[in-house]
């Protein structure tokens, strides 16, 4: 299996190439300039692996949520490359990718609350658990909310009260909003970002399950598109 992954949804501009289990990746924490950097980085990775775009199995991308322009860029680049090489695409949640990165680094934690800065004094939120094979799986729907409205899922709150499970809080939302204090979160890692390396790894299961999309279905997810008002957390 050969997967090219890319992500421009946040300040972390990244691309990765996963070929037969071997992973190459690049990431640059930049405020702007993703549109100028992402294609040269992809070319560098393909050259390093001596691979051609047409040889790939699929193109995976971070579908959001994140910065509106960044999420659109990732979807457009993935769509354009996929059309040109006649490849399918896989859309991976940036919140899921960040949870996967956190779980890979924190082996004593099985539950991650991801909160990334959504601007407008809101955060994008998602709750994730360690699933089969160590892959992160969602424990409810992703949502956008004011910092004070964020809560753990009901089952997590009960487990936390019984001291049966540790919960790690991850994401830029914790750094942006000091009032984002969630009962049941044991510790916080606010300096991790989603990246293409985890998007590529998560895409493997999607390809194996046949959950691939035609290039025209490479659509960004903003979360705010679906809500007129900030949502309450899903328990």
pLDDT tens digits, 70-113 = 999 999 999 999 999 999 999 999 999 999 999 999 989 999 99
Q: Token pair of 106, please?
A: 């924190």
Neighbours of 201 (CB within 10 A): 25
pLDDT at 225: 59
Residue 226 has pLDDT above 60, yes or no: no
Residue 227 has pLDDT above 80, yes or no: no
Are 34 and 150 within one domain?
no
The chain-wide mean pLDDT, for the chain, equals: 92
**Is residue 231 included in any domain, yes or no?**
no
pLDDT at 44: 96
Residue 233 has pLDDT above 50, yes or no: no
Are 124 and 76 within one domain?
no
Judged by phi (left if over 0) then psi (alpha if -120 to 50, else beta), residue 135 lies in: beta
pLDDT at 165: 74
**Is residue 152 included in any domain, yes or no?**
yes
What are the pLDDT digits (tens) for 135-168? Answer: 999 999 999 999 999 999 988 887 666 666 789 9
**Is residue 165 included in any domain, yes or no?**
yes
**Is residue 48 included in any domain, yes or no?**
yes
Domain count, the chain: 2
- Whether the pTM exceeds 0.85: the reply is yes
Host domain of residue 198: 2-93+194-226
pLDDT at 160: 63
């Amino acid at each position: 299996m050969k997967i090219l992954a890319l992500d421009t949804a946040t300040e972390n501009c990244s691309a990765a190439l996963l070929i037969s289990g071997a992973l190459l990746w690049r990431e640059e924490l930049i405020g702007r300039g993703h549109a100028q950097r992402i294609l040269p980085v992809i070319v560098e990775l393909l050259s390093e692996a001596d691979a051609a775009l047409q040889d790939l199995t699929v193109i995976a991308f971070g579908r959001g949520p994140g910065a509106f322009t960044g999420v659109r860029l990732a979807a457009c680049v993935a769509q354009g490359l996929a059309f040109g090489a006649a490849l399918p695409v896989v859309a991976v949640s940036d919140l899921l990718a960040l949870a996967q990165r956190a779980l890979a680094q924190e082996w004593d934690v099985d539950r991650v609350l991801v909160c990334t800065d959504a601007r407008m004094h809101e955060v994008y939120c998602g709750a994730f658990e360690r699933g089969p094979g160590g892959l992160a799986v969602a424990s409810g729907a992703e949502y956008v909310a004011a910092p004070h409205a964020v809560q753990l899922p009901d089952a997590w709150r009960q487990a936390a009260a019984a001291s049966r499970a540790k919960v790690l809080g991850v994401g830029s939302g914790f750094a942006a909003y000091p009032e984002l204090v969630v009962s049941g979160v044991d510790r916080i890692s606010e300096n991790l970002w989603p990246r293409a390396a985890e998007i590529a790894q998560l895409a493997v299961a999607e390809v194996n399950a046949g959950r691939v999309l035609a290039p025209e279905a490479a659509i960004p997810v903003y979360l705010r598109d679906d809500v007129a008002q900030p949502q309450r957390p899903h328990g």
